[in-house]
């Protein structure tokens, strides 16, 4: 399925974009309904965030899951949606985005791009993401 110029794996129920599960077992994930509840939104709104590329979901053991690190105290982690857009513009697939976000990078505060985003270092993360396009 192509959405906004991006290739997605489509879940057969509701066409939710699903990335390959490339997350290690140490990466915490939460169920779709729990993610919506933690974000304080309906499951319909969560589906829309996924379709809009503001979040990425994976399917593990038949269940749609969201990386727990994508959810902050007041919604999706600040800077995540913008970083995903930059990565998509650089030609990354959702699966490649997940790999990049959770890969160790000792030059970033927080060691991984997602942890750097979670600790308000979004500018550094976006700079690295933008550099990938060149």
For residue range 19-74, list pLDDT tens digits in order.
999 999 999 999 999 999 999 999 999 999 999 999 999 989 889 999 999 999 88
What is the structure's pLDDT at 4? 41
Query: What are the start-end ranges of the E strands in the chain?
Result: 2-3, 6-7, 9-10, 17-19, 29-31, 57-60, 63-67, 71-72, 75-76
Q: Are 35 and 71 in contact (CB under 8 A)?
A: yes
What is the structure's pLDDT at 2? 37
Q: Which domain holds residue 68?
A: 2-131
In the chain, how many domains are there? 1
Give the strand pairing for 9-10 and 75-76: unpaired
Residue 14 banded pLDDT, cuts 50, 70, 90 = low
Residue 114 banded pLDDT, cuts 50, 70, 90 = very high
DSSP state of 69: G
């Amino acid at each position: 399925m192509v959405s906004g110029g991006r290739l997605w794996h489509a879940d057969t129920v509701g066409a939710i974009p699903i990335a390959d599960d490339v997350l290690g077992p140490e990466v915490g994930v939460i169920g779709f309904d729990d993610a919506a509840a933690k974000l304080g939104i309906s499951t319909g709104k969560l589906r829309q965030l996924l379709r809009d590329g503001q979040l990425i979901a994976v399917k593990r053991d038949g269940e749609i899951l969201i990386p727990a690190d994508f959810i902050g105290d007041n919604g999706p982690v600040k800077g995540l949606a913008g970083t995903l857009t930059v990565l998509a513009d650089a030609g990354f697939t959702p699966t490649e985005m997940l790999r990049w976000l959770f890969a160790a990078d000792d030059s970033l505060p927080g060691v991984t791009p997602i942890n750097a985003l979670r600790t308000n270092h979004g500018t550094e993360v976006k700079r690295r993401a933008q550099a990938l396009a060149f």
